[in-house]
Amino acid sequence: MKANKNKTLTFASCIALLMAFFLGSNAQAETEDAAAFYKGKNIRWIVPYDPGGGYDEYARLIAPYFAKYTGARIRLDNKPGAGGMRGVNELFASPDDGLTVGIINGSAMVTNQLVGIQGAKYKIEEFKFLGRIVADRRVLAASIKDGFASFEDMIDAKDEFKIGATGLGGSTYVDAVVIGEVFKLRQNLIHGFDSSSVIRQSMLRGDVAAMWGSAGSAADSVDDGLNKVILQSGKQRSPDLADVPTVMEMMDRVNASAQDRDLVRAWQGLNDVGRPVASPPGTPDYKLAFLREAFKNAMNDPEFLKICADTGRDISFATGEEMNTIASDAAVMPDAVKEFFIGAIKGEL
């Protein structure tokens, strides 16, 4: 009996010792664990658009550097559909083991949520952001032969002119509605084009006089003196568009009202969300910290920066923590402005 009791005691104390060892060492081992965890693993990177698009290109450009700093292999997974929502939904529902990340169309996803679009199975504020690759810079390109060599020409236009946009409530549409409202432009907004490329062709034919779009897609198009960018978003002029005035500058020129300024500020806030990279909600903090660090290093890698400069790809890095603020701020706006946006997105304006 006594021998049995001794055995049980020894056994129990061994268990207790082992438990103390594992539980106690957990906290410290976590940070080292992250690097060891990711070494040699596969990280799935969801891209909510087809290969060849802007989002896909950014992901492909940075993936090798992200791989370098995480020690993992990156597998790009294109999941196009529903204007980017399919991929975002899938990212939101992915397992939170830290092995899935995704690039998202931040501005569109915030506005989708604002309007309460059906089919949005995500909450933008619950994503764990790794950081932002680039903020959305919106530009207005106009046809010179239709008489628009500068934005002032457009403000002063005597006759109605046509602006082309893609889907009702899409970003190119909302851009035109907002700026048209603030500057009281005599525009006839023709939406419904299938893509920006089709609008560009329409512009070259002379069917429409101008179109909104992202700076990246405008840079890709070679218009050879037929069209030019006459207005850009942002608080400061982009180095690639040094001669083009910003919306803020033009608002001072026309003495815009306080409400108009609120409207533009909200618009700018949405643009600032841009193209962030995120992982699903519930990703453990220590893994998230590791991924954020790797993302930051990748975005600041001199080789990566050189490639971006060479290929003309704009970059505006923001950290994961900053992204949390940017994303939540983007949805905050005065009620009147919010109503205006919802109306614009629903196509009621």
Binding site for other proteins (CB under 8 A): 50-53, 56-57, 60, 77-83, 85-86, 89, 118-119, 162, 166-170, 190-194, 197-198, 200-202, 204-205, 207-208, 220-222, 224, 311, 346-347
Q: Is the CB of 88 or the CB of 248 nearer to other proteins? A: 88
Q: Is the CB of 162 or the CB of 186 nearer to other proteins? A: 162
State the greatest distance between any 2 C-alpha atoms of the chain, in Å, as a whole number: 107
Q: How many CA atoms lie within 13 A of 222 on its CB side?
A: 0
State how far the alpha carbon of 229 is from the alpha carbons of 142, 148, 243, 264, 269, in Å: 6, 10, 9, 19, 22
Residue with tokens 């790797």: 294
Residues 158, 231: Cα–Cα separation, whole Å: 19
DSSP 225: T
Cβ 99 to other proteins shortest distance, Å: 18
Cβ 101 to other proteins shortest distance, Å: 18
Q: Which residues pair with 210 in a beta bridge?
A: 142, 163
Q: Is the CB of 50 or the CB of 285 nearer to other proteins? A: 50
Residues 281, 91: Cα–Cα separation, whole Å: 9
Q: Is the CB of 80 or the CB of 334 nearer to other proteins? A: 80
Cβ 29 to other proteins shortest distance, Å: 36
Q: Is the CB of 217 or the CB of 246 nearer to other proteins? A: 217
Contact (Cβ atoms closer than 8 angstroms) between residue 275 and residue 134: yes
Cβ 204 to other proteins shortest distance, Å: 6
Residues 16, 55: Cα–Cα separation, whole Å: 52
| Per-residue exposure over 267-302, b if at least 16 CB sit within 10 Å of its own CB, e if not | bbbbbbbbbbbbbbbebbebbbebbbbbbbebbebe
| 138-143/227-232 β-pairing | antiparallel
Residues 57, 52: Cα–Cα separation, whole Å: 6
Contact (Cβ atoms closer than 8 angstroms) between residue 254 and residue 152: no
Q: Is the CB of 6 or the CB of 197 nearer to other proteins? A: 197
Q: Is the CB of 56 or the CB of 175 nearer to other proteins? A: 56
Cβ 304 to other proteins shortest distance, Å: 14
What are the residues whose beta carbons fall under 8 Å from the beta carbon of 69, sequence distance 6 or more? 293, 294, 295, 297, 298, 301
Q: Is the CB of 113 or the CB of 201 nearer to other proteins? A: 201
Contact (Cβ atoms closer than 8 angstroms) between residue 245 and residue 254: no
Cβ 347 to other proteins shortest distance, Å: 5
